[in-house]
Amino acid sequence: MQMSSHQGSYDEVDPASPSGIPHPYAGWSPSIPKHARTITVPELEELVAEYGEAARRIMEAGFDGVMIHGANGYLACELLSRVFNKRTDAYGATSKAGLSIFST
Q: Which residues are catalytic?
A: 74
Selection from 42, 44, 36 nearest residue 20 by Cα: 36
Give DSSP secondary structure letters for 77-90: HHHH-TTT----ST
Give the other-Cβ count within 10 Å of 81's Cβ: 18
- Cβ neighbours of residue 86 under 8 Å, at least 6 residues apart? 18, 19, 21, 92, 93
